[in-house]
A and B are shown apart, each in its own frame.
Chain A
């Protein structure tokens, strides 16, 4: 029973293409996140949604657009892919919102995006 699942696991594509990564959680959490992990293993928050509402929108290019159709899903669409977008993208979820939660975020297995 995968708690936070991402698809695809691997994504190899050419520069300039548009691609999407999907994320679903079955934990009943109401907050979901996207993180980017670069080649040096540095992890950085990109977006956060709570109950389909955008809460955190870090300084990322507007080529990246998250979409949350419901609180169990958070997808990431990337337009006009660039070489620098190559990274591992992690989806995560957590219970509660803000300071009300004392629980850690649960991470998916990651999507390894390689731009040719």
Chain B
């Protein structure tokens, strides 16, 4: 059975610090998505990674994909309080259709 594991599950970090969230998956896929979810809210798409070596950056967040290692990372640079949320990676394992398997989520809290 496919597993998509994120670590850490919970991350408390100080403003201005850097950190990386890891997403490991157990089957072949060349498509991976990152989403953000604020408490009680919907999921917001952050990044779409479509091939090995893909790197995307938006503001203080940068995502990368290594399909050979079955690993994606979400790097946070100089964290600010507004980044506090839960972050999910989702692996697309579909062949004839999109089928996303979500990771366990990483709850990020940024404090002053």
Contacts and interface: CB of A to CB of B under 8 A. Distances in A.
B101 A55 contact: no
B41 interface: yes
A45 B101 contact: yes
B25 interface: no
A110 B97 contact: no
Interface of chain B, helix or strand or loop or mixed?
strand
Given A41-B86, A41-B105, A90 B99 contact: no
B45 interface: yes
Interface in A31-84: 31, 41-45, 48, 50, 55-56
Contact of B97 (A43, A50, A92): A50
Interface residues of A, number: 26
A107 B42 contact: yes
A103 B48 contact: yes
B50 interface: yes
Interface of B: 33, 35, 37, 41-45, 48, 50, 86, 88, 90, 94-102, 104-105, 107
